Amino acid sequence: MRIALIAHAPVRGGSTDMVIQARDYFLRNGHDVQCIFGTGAASPDPRTAGSQVIATPQKQWRAHMRDYIQQVENFRPDVVFALSGKTEMDLFRFLRCVRVRHTFSLEEHEYLNIPLLLKRGRPFMEAGTANTPDALETVARITGKPTYLLPYLFPEPLNQLAEVDGARLLDAKNPIEIAFVSRFERFQKRSHWLPDIIRACEKAGANLAWHFYGDGPDLASVRNRVGNDSRVHFHGWISRETLYERLPNHDILFFCSRWEGLPVAMVEGMRCGLACVSTDIPAGIRWTLEQGGGWLYDAASPADAAAALLKAVKDRAVLLEKRREALHLARKLFNTQTAAQYYRQLEEAFGKLRFNGEVLDLDRAGKFRTVSVPTYLKRLVFRPLG
């Protein structure tokens, strides 16, 4: 079977992780696979080497779509499996092959409304997948299409981790170690909140050490605002193998994102025995942390995020239990054997799905609208998210 995996950009992150694991699974099982990305990246994930990259400027929408369509059709796929992006759902409307979309998140804001996107894209997809049951339920309800669970596959090093050792954490002289694993950018990750969160926790007298893993456009600004603080460590982007060695030495994985998908970083952090403190985000994060392993909070400001962290570090014994709970929960919910089983089900489905005949003419079609008209008008009037 010829399978085209399409995604927005080959950036380092959860979407690309899913693309790579899907590619490797289907290649191992004898399929002809091509990864095609809708745009380039300043620092692409090295694992995407050899993939096609479409670099047409985004502002030239019709030209970009034409190039994108041509690259997909040149491969002559039996199935196109889109793993991210509104652009990829846009593309679905013009392809004459089986189209399956993976839904990472359920965010709703003035730039993207996933439930609305799924509803409008319903005629142009044959099936849907998602990382967690709650997201999959939403996809099934909105689209009425066959749906398939596709959880994250753990890399082998994570399957060797021993139990959480609490000796360091329970010694009050040692700082509680906070890890932030993410791109540094303002819109989704809200990394510009971090200096204010650090200052608020220090003002409250919390004995914390901060470890930031990742790069991105906002990194220089965050470092400059933090200044020279011996308790704050910027590690930059490091290999996953090195990250898996370091994470078990930390205590909390922290998120202040506006939205997330699964996210992969949370799964990996929990599998390394870290408790999670995260904004209350529908889909993967809420579904997982409501079962244990961390704390959810409503984030309207950096002060809310700092308050959530201070609550988490108040009692070291409780935090240790949360760490152990996170490790066992991740082993149960996200394990390689279960994920491989779901991949086999999806692979079998690919061979049975049939193209439903819905296709538009690019020259007559307009750009895919991903928010309602009132939301779009509100965006024009009010200041964009920041």
Could you read off the pLDDT of 241-300 as tens digits, one per residue?
Answer: 899 999 999 999 999 999 888 888 998 999 999 999 999 998 889 999 999 999 999 988
What would the mean pLDDT of 117-131 be, rounded to a whole number?
A: 94
Give yes or no for residue 8 having a pLDDT over 80.
yes
Task: Give the tens place of pLDDT for each residue, 158-179.
Answer: 766 778 999 999 999 999 999 9
| CATH 3.40.50.2000 intervals, the chain | 2-154+336-381, 156-333
In order, the DSSP letters of 61-111 are HHHHHHHHHHHHHHH--SEEEE-S-HHHHHHHTT--SEEEEEE----BSSS
Contacts of 28 (CB under 8 A, 6+ apart): none
Cα separation of the two ends of the chain: 44
pLDDT at 386: 54
| pLDDT value for 79 | 98
Chosen CATH of 156-333 out of 3.20.20.70, 3.40.1370.10, 3.30.160.20, 3.40.50.2000: 3.40.50.2000
Across the range 330-351, mean pLDDT stands at 88
Q: Which residue has better confidence, 204 or 87?
A: 204
**Cα radius of gyration rounded to whole Å, the chain:** 21
Compute the average pLDDT of residues 58-74: 90
Contacts of 283 (CB under 8 A, 6+ apart): 104, 105, 106, 130, 131, 132, 134, 135, 138, 260, 261, 262
- Identity of the amino acid at 122: R
∠ CA 277-130-192 to the nearest 5 degrees? 35
CATH class for the domain made up of 2-154+336-381 = alpha beta
Of how many residues is the chain composed? Answer: 386
pTM for the structure as a whole:
0.89
DSSP string, 8-26: S---SSHHHHHHHHHHHHH
Max mean pLDDT among 40-44, 224-228, 355-359 falls in 224-228
Q: Across the chain, how many H-helices and E-strands are there? A: 15, 13
Question: Does residue 318 have a pLDDT over 90?
Answer: yes
Mean pLDDT of 102-114: 88
Instruction: Name the DSSP class of 39.
Output: S
Of 113 and 380, which is predicted with more confidence? 113
Distance CA 30, CA 154 (A): 21
Distances (CA, A) of 280 to 102, 169, 298, 305: 22, 26, 6, 11
Percent of the chain at pLDDT above 90? 69
